[in-house]
């Protein structure tokens, strides 16, 4: 790779701990350049996966890719000081969302048995659907690939592929929305314990709906749907989580309407006025997009705004793929409202 693992890890450590502004600026420049190189690998993996799923008639799936935000990178390093930045495998991420578990199981079989040329799986897929993450309730399937290339800049680079259903995606996006606003890593069990409990209960309820395993802590308590729904109802009434998420919906979106194919979109999210400004770049201008992204990140103020760089096949798919960046949790909230109403209808609560 253009930057070896040790050099990247050193840059991450400097960016996180140094009090010397010049040192930090130089370290971030290295991280930015290294991060942007992941776009090359993401493009190649996406082309293969999309062709594979299309060839096998898996319909209704959506695909998107993103580069991990600098704030997320530094927060992850801060939570895991023993792990260096050079070992991170999710700097570049490709996400496939399918309609249901039937489609997911088909996609999983094809993706597992068809490895693209120049890629290798670094380990067996991590199935967080059969074994949800106990600290948060997170459910998805993760593949980690290593890329082999004659281009020394990207040879050896790692990329993460996530495969999940629409219901699992709505849960994950609701968590990301709450994380963006609270400035805490709820998926890593950091932050308000009530929020964490809320999302874990919903995760198990969604698992019941999809006929997949619920969280171990819930199964050990022999919780059934009624137990989880009544707990959800009480917690939501007490903490007003639904109302909080509804209030966070962005009121206005100012977007450039260029209809780029596989373009790059930089979202500048303002939490105070709930507005999102979007800057679009055509696919061939990835370096310009990455540079603009890095420039905006320098002005980020925690809990006030966030900046993200993502890519989707068409502009109109942007909000569907990344509703959390629009502070939009509509699908998740619809599911919660339905469960709350059913809980009362069945007479489980007064």
Answer yes or no: are the C-beta atoms of 60 and 103 closer than 8 Å. Answer: yes
Q: Tell me how many domains the chain contains.
A: 1
Distances (CA, A) of 48 to 54, 63, 144, 261, 316: 10, 12, 15, 16, 23
Structure tokens at 128: 């967080």
Residue 158: which CATH number?
3.30.460.10
Answer yes or no: are the C-beta atoms of 297 and 224 closer than 8 Å. Answer: no
Residue 299 lies in a domain: yes
What is the rounded distance in angstroms from the CA atom of residue 136 to the CA atom of residue 200? 6
Answer yes or no: are the C-beta atoms of 231 and 224 closer than 8 Å. Answer: no
**Who has greater pLDDT, 326 or 270?**
270
pLDDT tens, 252-302? 454 445 556 668 888 888 877 777 888 888 888 888 988 899 989 888 877
Residue 48 lies in a domain: yes
Q: Given the structure tokens 């609270």, which residue do they identify?
A: 182
Residue 49 lies in a domain: yes
**Who has greater pLDDT, 130 or 70?**
130
| Sign of torsion over alpha carbons 125, 131, 81, 18 | positive
Task: Give the model's pLDDT for residue 126.
Answer: 97
Residue 350 lies in a domain: no
What is the rounded distance in angstroms from the CA atom of residue 125 to the CA atom of residue 113? 11
Residue 277 lies in a domain: yes
For the segment 123-145, the average pLDDT, to the nearest whole number, is 96
Full domain range(s) for residue 23: 5-345
Residue 166 lies in a domain: yes
Distances (CA, A) of 124 to 144, 156, 169: 8, 18, 22
Answer yes or no: are the C-beta atoms of 213 and 132 closer than 8 Å. Answer: yes
Residue 29 makes CB contacts below 8 A (sequence gap 6+) with none
Task: Give the model's pLDDT for residue 238.
Answer: 92
* Number of Cβ within a 10 Å radius of residue 81: 10
pLDDT tens, 234-254? 999 999 888 888 776 655 454
Task: Give the model's pLDDT for residue 217.
Answer: 96
By DSSP bridging, strand 62-67 and strand 92-98 are antiparallel
Burial class of 40 by CB neighbour count within 10 A (0 to 12, 13 to 18, 19+): middle
Sequence-distant contacts of 330-338: CB under 8 A, at least 24 apart: 330/249, 331/166, 331/170, 332/170, 332/171, 332/173, 332/174, 332/202, 332/245, 333/174, 333/242, 333/245, 333/246, 335/167, 335/170, 335/202, 335/206, 336/202, 336/232, 336/236, 336/242, 337/242
pTM for the model: 0.87
Q: What is the CA radius of gyration of the chain?
A: 20
Q: Which of 79-88, 151-160, 197-206 has the lowest mean pLDDT?
A: 79-88
Backbone angles phi, psi at 108, to 5 degrees: -60, -45
pLDDT tens, 99-132? 999 999 999 999 999 999 999 999 999 999 999 9
Task: Give the model's pLDDT for residue 104.
Answer: 98
């Amino acid at each position: 790779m253009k930057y070896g693992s040790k050099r990247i890890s050193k840059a991450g450590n400097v960016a996180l701990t140094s009090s010397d502004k010049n040192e930090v600026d130089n370290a971030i420049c290295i991280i930015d350049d290294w991060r942007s190189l992941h776009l090359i690998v993401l493009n190649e993996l996406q082309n293969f996966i999309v062709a594979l799923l299309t060839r096998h008639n898996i319909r209704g799936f959506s695909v998107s890719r993103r580069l991990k935000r600098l704030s997320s990178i530094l927060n992850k390093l801060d939570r895991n000081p023993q792990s260096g930045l050079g070992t991170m495998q999710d700097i570049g991420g490709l996400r496939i969302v399918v309609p249901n578990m039937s489609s997911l199981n088909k996609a999983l079989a094809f993706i597992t048995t068809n490895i693209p040329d120049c890629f290798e799986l670094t380990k067996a897929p991590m199935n967080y659907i059969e074994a949800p993450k106990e600290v948060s309730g997170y459910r998805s399937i993760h593949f980690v690939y290593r890329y082999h290339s004659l281009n020394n800049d990207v040879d050896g680079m790692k990329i993460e592929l996530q495969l999940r259903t629409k219901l699992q995606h709505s849960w994950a996006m609701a968590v990301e929305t709450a994380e963006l606003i609270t400035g805490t890593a709820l998926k890593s069990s950091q932050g308000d314990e009530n929020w964490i409990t809320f999302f874990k209960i919903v995760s198990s309820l969604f698992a019941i709906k999809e006929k997949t395993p619920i969280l171990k802590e819930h199964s050990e308590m022999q919780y059934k749907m009624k137990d989880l729904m009544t707990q959800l109802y009480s917690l939501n009434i007490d903490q007003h989580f639904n109302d909080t998420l509804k209030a966070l919906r962005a009121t206005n979106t100012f977007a450039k309407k260029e209809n780029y194919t596989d373009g790059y979109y930089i979202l500048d999210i303002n939490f105070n006025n709930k507005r999102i400004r979007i800057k679009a770049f055509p696919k061939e201008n990835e370096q310009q997009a990455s540079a603009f992204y890095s420039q905006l990140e320098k002005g980020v103020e925690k809990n006030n705004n966030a900046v993200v760089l993502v890519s989707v096949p068409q502009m109109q798919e942007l909000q569907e793929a990344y509703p959390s960046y629009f502070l939009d949790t509509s699908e998740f909230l619809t599911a919660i409202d339905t469960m709350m109403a059913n809980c009362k209808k069945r007479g489980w609560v007064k």
